[in-house]
Amino acid sequence: MKAYVLFSGGKDSSLTAIMLEKFFEVELVTCSFGIIPTAEISKDLAKIIGFPHRVINPGTDILEKACDMAIQDGFLNNAINFLHRQSLLKIVSDRDSDDVFLIADGIRRDDRVPNLTKSEIQSFEDKNNILYASPLSGFGRKTINEMVRLNLIIEEGESSVLQKCDYEEELREMLNRKIGVEDANTLFPKSHKQSRVVKRIYDL
Amino acid sequence: MKAYVLFSGGKDSSLTAIMLEKFFEVELVTCSFGIIPTAEISKDLAKIIGFPHRVINPGTDILEKACDMAIQDGFLNNAINFLHRQSLLKIVSDRDSDDVFLIADGIRRDDRVPNLTKSEIQSFEDKNNILYASPLSGFGRKTINEMVRLNLIIEEGESSVLQKCDYEEELREMLNRKIGVEDANTLFPKSHKQSRVVKRIYDL
């Protein structure tokens, strides 16, 4: 069975793919709106960990809507949840076969957003005849760090410095353009450490 | 790092072990109170899937207490949750080294009991300097079935027929002895399908 793994180039989504490869035919999927070159960066990072990769673009209107939500709310949670759901739905609408497949993301036990409730998951699976999983959601931060240590070399840094390729970066860029860097900054946490894969450690 | 995986001989705990073996030095752990021969059965089932195995016994008073809870409540949830927690704590108190290790169980996304809240997990990890994970809790039933299909041959049947080796069976046996089979039956669901590993399918 195919598994499409939402891929940001960071340690969580990379580990998710590695965890699933024993069970599924994994393909990485990066959501890119074309605002910043996340499509190209994600292609290179996917090669590093050795999985096929594709880019999906849910459309600029979706990113615009997420911006409006963030500005209206004064915080990001709903906007991030919206973008996450739209990415999942775009994978479904891009399907080229009726076969059941798995969509997986890198959500962890400690993550507050994005998240889906159990009933949202049930409805998403049933409506679309697909499976959905968050393989890391049963694991805490320290356990994930241990699993990452054995399988990946990563670099970590502030998100402002370390370019990854998730929709959050494009949301930030569009907010910068819409309301200015200063106001956009108030919506994001002051310090936000990101990770990016540098190399995969293969089994001996 | 070592990972102790709570093992009942069923598909969920077996799959949990297989999922973790890439990342941890897995040892299966079966909780047995010595009421029925779950210790011996679990040893054989552990051999089938190829992992080292140990039996822990939290003490008959714990099983007695769980019985009392079930009788008083008129349902099993609290009793099962209590036995699950006592099993986790017994693994901790049996530790023979100060090294951090992982304790994992086979709880699925759809399982109602046993379960631990996020704050219980946090407290359990911090107090005992260990890690805890429920690797299947990010997966639904159908996804787990697909992963099982690729890795295990299992038999399924009513729990009254198919002897596995979890504390629930011993709880049932002790309730049978205490309040009689008829009354004990009212506490358990009418139909309760169980699974047991028959063979492991190894990678080519």
Section A16-37 average pLDDT: 97
Q: What does the DSSP 8-state code read for residue B135? A: G
Q: Which residues fall within 8 angstroms of residue A39, CB to CB, at 6 or more apart?
A: A30, A32, A55, A165
CA distance B168 to B188: 10
Q: Does A135 touch chain B (CB under 8 A)?
A: yes
Q: Does B142 touch chain A (CB under 8 A)?
A: yes
% of chain A beyond a pLDDT of 90: 91
What are the chain A neighbours of B23 within 8 Å (beta carbons)? 146-147, 150-151
- Report CA A116 to chain centroid distance, whole Å: 14
Query: Do you know the residue count of chain A?
Result: 204
CA distance A129 to A124: 8
B25 forms beta bridges with B2
Cβ contact A108:A141 at 8 Å:
yes
Pairing, β A25-31 against β A2-6: parallel
Q: Which of B1, B133, B203 sits opposite A139 (nearest CB)?
A: B133
pLDDT over 70 (residue A160): no
B26 forms beta bridges with B3
Cβ contact A169:A33 at 8 Å:
no
Q: Does A129 touch chain B (CB under 8 A)?
A: no
Q: How many domains does chain A have?
A: 1
What are the chain A neighbours of B132 within 8 Å (beta carbons)? 140, 143
Q: Does B40 touch chain A (CB under 8 A)?
A: no
pLDDT band at B133 (very low <50, low <70, confident <90, very high): very high
Helix (H), strand (E) at residue A181: helix A181-187
Instruction: Give the predicted TM-score (pTM) of the model.
Output: 0.96
A-B interface: how many C-beta pairs under 8 angstroms?
70
CA distance B84 to B105: 9
| Residue-level pLDDT at B160 | 67
Q: Does A147 touch chain B (CB under 8 A)?
A: yes
pLDDT band at B204 (very low <50, low <70, confident <90, very high): low
Instruction: Summarize pLDDT for A8-21 with one digit per residue, the tens.
Output: 999 999 999 999 99
Which of A19-23, A88-92, A199-203, B102-106 shows the lowest mean pLDDT across its residues? A199-203
Could you tell me which chain B residue has the CA closest to the CA of A122?
Answer: B140
Cβ contact B138–A142 (<8 Å)? no
pLDDT band at A204 (very low <50, low <70, confident <90, very high): low
CA distance A91 to A58: 9
| ipTM of this predicted structure | 0.95
Q: Which of A1, A134, A147 sits opposite B138 (nearest CB)?
A: A134
CA distance A1 to B59: 44
% of chain B beyond a pLDDT of 70: 99
pLDDT over 80 (residue A163): no
CA distance B131 to A109: 13
Could you tell me which chain B residue has the CA closest to the CA of A116?
Answer: B138
| Residue-level pLDDT at A158 | 82
Cβ contact A199:A152 at 8 Å:
yes
% of chain B beyond a pLDDT of 90: 91
Instruction: Summarize pLDDT for B10-51 with one digit per residue, the tens.
Output: 999 999 999 999 999 999 999 999 999 999 999 999 999 999
Pairing, β B53-56 against β B102-104: unpaired
A194 forms beta bridges with A157
Cβ contact B125–A142 (<8 Å)? yes
Cβ contact B13:B106 at 8 Å:
yes
Work out the mean pLDDT of chain B and round it to a whole number: 95
Section A126-143 average pLDDT: 97
Work out the mean pLDDT of chain A and round it to a whole number: 95
Instruction: Summarize pLDDT for B135-172 with one digit per residue, the tens.
Output: 999 999 999 999 999 999 999 988 767 777 889 999 99
Q: Does A198 touch chain B (CB under 8 A)?
A: no
Instruction: Summarize pLDDT for A49-93 with one digit per residue, the tens.
Output: 999 999 999 999 999 999 999 999 999 999 999 999 999 999 999
| Residue A105 belongs to domain with CATH number | 3.40.50.620
For B111, what's the count of Cα atoms within 13 Å in the CB-facing half-sphere?
Answer: 20
Range of the domain at A101: 2-200
